[in-house]
């Protein structure tokens, strides 16, 4: 189950107003989970992973904070191409190499003007993957420079941003263990200091076993 939960963490990133440049600021998402595992209920998934996620991004760095009892935070440090995940059951931040990806995108499909989120018309990108189906909804107003994430294969992130050039305003992730729906409820443009994305002082780190 731990492996499935860590994959889930990667995929909920695994989430705005901008003026012709890469967005810098915060997006708040509400998350809903449906368990496909007999020993884990929907409510347990929500409690562990968090119903609310705050996602901050600046250039090639991002940081996620969640109100889960298990999943607490994730940092992506671009210059290291590493994702650092903090779970409540570990004193250390578990890191994954951004260049690795246990999943694979088999095909992709782009559909125009599928849904409106926070007043913005969103296109839909459907990624059919080895692990299942991932759907992302985005508006080109919320720009991301895909060149900053060219080495970020983990969680299929580069597969998404290379085709959308944008942040997701909604995502639906479906695999054998769970389905998850994450929807933006608030978007705030703000200036963030580079130090905001670094790990806390004296943090312990170790390579993730998953």
Q: List the domain range (segments joined by +) for residue 102.
A: 2-192
**pLDDT tens by residue, 47-56:** 999 999 999 9
Q: Residue 75: pLDDT above 80? A: yes
Arithmetic mean of pLDDT, 146-150: 96
Residue 101, judged by CB atoms within 10 A of its CB (0-12, 13-18, 19+), counts as: buried
pLDDT of residue 19: 33
Distances 27 to 12, 41, 108, 185, 190 between C-alpha atoms, Å: 12, 27, 25, 8, 10
The Cα–Cα gap between 172 and 179 comes to 7
Is 198 contained in some domain?
no
Domain presence at residue 24: yes
The reported pLDDT for the residue numbered 209 is 87
**Residue 36 to residues 109, 118, 165, 181: CA-CA distances in angstroms?**
26, 30, 32, 14
pLDDT for the residue numbered 1: 55
Asked if the structure places residue 208 within a domain, the reply is no
Please check whether residue 51 lies inside any domain of the structure.
Answer: yes
How many domains are there within the chain?
Answer: 1
**pLDDT: which is higher, 11 or 210:** 210
Phi and psi angles of residue 130, each rounded to the nearest 5 degrees, phi first? -60, -35
The C-alpha angle with vertex 76 and arms to 101 and 147, in degrees rounded to 5, equals 75
Q: Do residues 133 and 126 make contact, with C-beta atoms less than 8 angstroms apart?
A: yes
Over residues 77-117, the pLDDT tens digits come to 999 999 999 999 999 999 999 999 999 999 999 999 999 99
Asked if residue 79 is part of any domain, the answer here is yes
Is residue 203 assigned to a domain? no
């Amino acid at each position: 189950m731990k492996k499935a939960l860590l994959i889930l963490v990667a995929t909920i990133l695994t989430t705005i107003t901008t003026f012709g440049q890469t967005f810098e600021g915060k997006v708040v998402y509400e998350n809903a989970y449906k368990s496909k595992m007999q020993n884990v209920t929907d409510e347990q998934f929500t409690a562990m992973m968090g119903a609310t996620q705050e996602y901050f991004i600046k250039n090639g760095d991002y940081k996620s904070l969640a109100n889960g009892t298990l999943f607490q935070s994730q940092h992506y440090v671009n210059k290291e191409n590493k994702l650092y995940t903090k779970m409540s059951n570990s004193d250390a931040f578990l890191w994954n190499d951004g260049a690795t990806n246990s999943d694979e995108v088999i095909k992709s499909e782009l559909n125009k003007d599928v849904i409106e989120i926070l007043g913005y018309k969103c296109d839909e990108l459907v990624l059919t993957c080895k692990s299942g189906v991932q759907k992302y909804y985005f508006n080109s107003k919320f720009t991301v420079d895909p060149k900053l994430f060219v080495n970020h294969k983990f969680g299929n992130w580069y597969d998404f941003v290379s085709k959308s050039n944008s942040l997701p305003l909604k995502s639906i992730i479906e695999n054998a263990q769970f389905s998850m729906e994450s929807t933006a409820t608030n978007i705030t443009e703000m200036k963030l200091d580079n130090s905001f994305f670094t790990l806390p002082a004296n943090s312990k780190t170790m390579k993730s076993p998953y």
